[in-house]
């Protein structure tokens, strides 16, 4: 998981024990906790912003992610992707 997000977005990580890693370098800080079971469906969608949507999509694919949907909407465009663990996120940009 760290390799994917590091390669795709340039995030840096710091581990706090075996079940939690914090990330930085994304314009915000956050973390990932190890849990059991499949990723939930129908929950919140994390949406990231990119100035260059095509470059972001290439970076996601090159890092091992899978694009699952592309959308255009008034004022912007986005794509949804799954990371190698099956978590779904999206990236958007202004038109």
Instruction: Count CA within 13 A, CB hemisphere, residue 86.
Output: 5
Q: Please give the full DSSP string across 18-77, using - where no structure is assigned.
A: SSEEEEESSSS-EEEE--SSPPPSSS--EEEE-S-HHHHHHHHHHTT-EEEEEEEETTEE
Higher pLDDT, 45 or 85: 85
| Bridge partners (DSSP) listed for residue 70 | 79
Q: The domain that contains 29 carries what CATH number?
A: 3.10.180.10
When divided into structural domains, the chain yields a total of 1
Residue 73, pLDDT score = 87
* CB-CB neighbours of 47 under 10 Å: 11
Higher pLDDT, 33 or 58: 58
Confidence class for position 25, pLDDT limits 50, 70, 90: confident
Q: Which domain holds residue 23?
A: 2-36+43-94
Residue 39, pLDDT score = 63
Each residue's pLDDT tens digit, 36-57: 776 666 666 788 889 999 999 9
């Amino acid at each position: 998981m760290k390799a994917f997000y590091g390669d795709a977005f340039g995030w840096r990580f710091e581990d706090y024990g075996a079940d939690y890693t914090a990330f930085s370098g994304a314009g915000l800080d956050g973390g990932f906790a190890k849990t059991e079971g499949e990723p939930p469906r129908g929950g919140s969608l994390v949406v990231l912003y990119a100035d260059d949507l095509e470059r972001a999509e290439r970076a996601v694919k090159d890092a091992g992610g899978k694009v699952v949907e592309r959308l255009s909407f008034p004022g912007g465009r986005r794509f949804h992707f799954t990371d190698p663990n099956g978590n779904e996120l999206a990236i958007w940009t202004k038109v």
